[in-house]
Amino acid sequence: METTTVKFYSLNYNDVKTYWAALLFIVGNILFPQLFHLMPQGGIIWLPIYFFTLIGAYKYGWKVGLLTAILSPIINSLFFDMPAPAVLPAILLRSILLAITAGWAAQRFGRISIPVLIGVVLIYQAVGTLGEWIYNGNFYSAIQDFRIGIPGMCLQVLGGYTFIKYLIRK
């Protein structure tokens, strides 16, 4: 399995670059879902709200990822009602878990590889599913990403790998 070393950053909240990077990924997380919601069930199949959170957290650290993870779903919900307010807590939980897991994995492994990204996606999804099940008490709803969102998880892994490896390599 191919592994690529790329330069990772760990930006701090007192650094203006943190907010510019987060803004870039938030915009991506606003535009990407709009595109996928043009397809029937595009949001629940492709899970586009998580894509740029993964990339931002992996490339620039958990702080950029956390800003992206929190602000993207809230802004999308306020302006586009996607995610709907009823599911916003579950989306926020998964987004935050993704930001923390991706930032940790990038720092821990110092490289980008498909197995590492698979691990990141499976960890945030599994823990997020458990948290959502505890929060809303509905197991069937909590496992929706595993029932319907497999293409989205594959997009996160393969698209995230490609994007990090080729487009933001520095």
pLDDT digit string, tens, across residues 30-54: 999 999 999 999 999 999 999 999 9
Mean pLDDT of 85-104: 97
Contact in structure between 25 and 76 (CB atoms under 8 Å) = no
Q: Mean pLDDT over residues 57-78, rounded?
A: 96
**pLDDT at residue 67, rounded to an integer:** 97
Rounded Cα distance between 10 and 40, Å, is 38
The pair phi, psi for residue 139, each rounded to 5°, is -65, -40
Distance CA 68, CA 58 (A): 12
Asked if residues 90 and 128 have their Cβ atoms less than 8 Å apart, the reply is yes
> How many Cα atoms within 13 Å fall on the side-chain side of residue 71?
17
Produce one character per residue of 15-33: b if its CB has 16 or more CB atoms within 10 Å, e if not.
eeebeebbebbbebbbebb
Whether pLDDT at 10 is above 90: no
41 vs 64: CA distance, rounded Å:
29
**pLDDT tens-digit map of 100-158:** 999 999 999 998 999 999 999 999 999 999 999 999 999 999 999 999 999 999 999 99
What is the predicted pLDDT for the residue at 12?
Answer: 82
Backbone angles phi, psi at 84, to 5 degrees: -60, 145
- Look at residue 4 and give its three-state secondary structure: strand
Share of the chain above pLDDT 90, in %: 82
Interhelix angle 16-36/51-60, rounded to 10 degrees, is: 160
